[in-house]
Structures are given as structure tokens and as C-alpha cells.
Amino acid sequence: MEIRTVGVVGAGQMGNGIAHVFALAGFDVTLNDISQDALDQSVETIRNNLDRQVGRGKLEETARDAALSRITTTATLSDLGPSDLIIEAATEREDIKHAIFAELAPHLGDQTILTSNTSSISITRLASRTDRPERFMGFHFMNPVPVMSLVELIRGIATNAETYDTLSAVVATLGKQAASAEDFPAFIVNRILMPMINEAIYTLYEGVGSVESIDTSLRLGANHPMGPLELADFIGLDTCLAIMNVLHEGLADTKYRPCPLLTKYVEAGWLGRKTERGFYDYRGDVPIPTR
């Protein structure tokens, strides 16, 4: 089937990035959130990011204006029902995701494909609670969405070939690269990335190195663009902890046990950049390590 209209649930960091790339690629996008303030801020973020692309000579002003004209916002979830494709990009909590799909169910078109941008939760389990498990997939974008070229495509046990082929074509239209992952906890990227971040936190917890020395070592010693603790702050420490818990519970292997220090930071509400404190303190002009 051909995808023309796209609904995005959640106007946070991932949701606004997904809306950005779809609108820029010519899709009509409806962005939903329970907060009107979040929707307004999301549109402003998209506008600023598009302006940045124009300023760098990567985008024409006419293309920016056309993309913005394709984005509408709504605080009413049912407005997304008639969309050809719906992408759930809400917080990484399974109960919330189930509730979203349950509320959408009575309003969906027969043709609508449902997807989740979850970074770790079982696609088969999410799909099983809907009326269309054959037209349900994991559609995992990387952060920041406008910059990162990878999209993980995750089939549930019931996902049919037409749904997979349709979403593969959508990824190509976006100018991104698809990678197929099987439906196991955290899929590919986070199955590899999160244990590395968790091990970096253990390295800090055990006093092997400071925040600064750990990040410097991985930037210069492994040629990573940012250190693992800086990256954890960028992702959000609550998200990192949620993914590690999914890995630990789903695979029952102690090597995935979340570091107690990660849990402690989350309990303190120090979640990284979005709360201005994590492994770095971002309240000043220059980030300062907190340990």
C-alpha cells in the first residue's frame, strides 16, 4: 500500500524529529501529544532545526516552508485514526503504549499500519493487544532523527510481508537506511550500545576512572564521537535504565544488571540534559562532571 498520511504520537525529542523528517519527505503529518505546550514547543523545535538546515545551505527556504505546512498538531489522539501510518513515540513504558493503542483502536482505518518507536519492548507483545498484529511493526529511529540515517525495522511474530515491504519503502523515501532486527529485547543497536554505557557507569561506580577520564578515553581511544557518559546524558538516564531493565528481565542474564549508580541518578531525578543534571551538570555555560 502507499503511505501518504502519518500520525505521530508523542511530541518529545523523538516525536518531533520523526515529524520533521516525514514532513520534509512530502508526507502529511499529524503530531499528537496530551500537552498543548509540548506540541507548540515541538513545532518551534522543528522550525528551528529546519532553519538551521537552511542556514547551512542544505535546504531551500521553499522546502522548509512546505515541510512546515504539512505538519498539523492535535491533543486529541483519535484524530490520528484515519492516518495510513501511525508511529507511537511516547515514553518507554509498556503500559502507556498499550493504553495508546487501545484508545486508537476504535478510530483506525482498515488500511492503517501501526508502529512503535520503542527502543527495547517486545513488538510481538505490543501487537498482540491490537486488532491488527499482522499490520504492526517496530519502527525504531535513532536520535537525533534528522541527522541519524539508520532505522531499525522489527517484525513481530505475526507481521506480514506487505507491512514490512511498505515500511522498507517508506524508509527509502525518507532517505534513510533500514536494518532488519529480530524481535528480541533491545533489538540490535541498544542490545550492543546500552551494555557498553552500563559498563562505563560501573567503571565510574567502582572508581576505575572519573566521568571526564572515562569519556576522554572512549573519545580518543576508541574514536567515539562522544563519551559513553555524555551519550547517556544525551539519551536520558531514565531511558537507559528502562532499556537495561528490559534486557535484564527479558534475557535473564546477570551481565545486563543495571548499575546501582544509574538507578541512583534516576531516583534523584538527574536524568541528563533534559533535566540539566546527569553525569554532567549543564546549568552553566560549560558542562561540569558531577563525579
Q: Using one digit for the tens of pLDDT, what is the confidence trace for 153-174?
A: 999 999 999 999 999 999 999 9
Non-local CB neighbours of 268 within 8 Å, separated by 6+ positions: none
Name 285's Cβ contacts closer than 8 Å, sequence gap at least 6: none
- Catalytic-role residue among 42, 116, 152, 198: 152
CATH 3.20.20.70 assigned to domain 5-182? The reply is no
For the chain, where are the alpha helices, taking DSSP H only? 13-24, 36-55, 61-69, 94-104, 123-128, 161-173, 189-205, 211-221, 228-235, 237-251, 260-268
Which CATH fold topology does 189-289 show?
A: N-(1-d-carboxylethyl)-l-norvaline Dehydrogenase; domain 2 (1.10.1040)
**pLDDT single digits (tens) 92-133:** 899 999 999 999 999 999 999 999 999 989 999 999 999 999
Mean pLDDT of 128-151: 96
190 is catalytic: yes
Domain limits, the chain: 5-182, 189-289
What are the grid coordinates assigned to 205, written together?
A: 561506580
Give 186: exposed, middle or buried? Use CB within 10 Å, 0-12, 13-18, 19+.
buried
pLDDT for the residue numbered 1: 79
Active site residue 152: yes
276: annotated binding-site residue?
A: no
What was the pLDDT predicted at 92? 87
15 is in an annotated binding site: yes
Query: Cβ neighbours of residue 277 under 8 Å, at least 6 residues apart?
Result: 270, 271, 283, 290
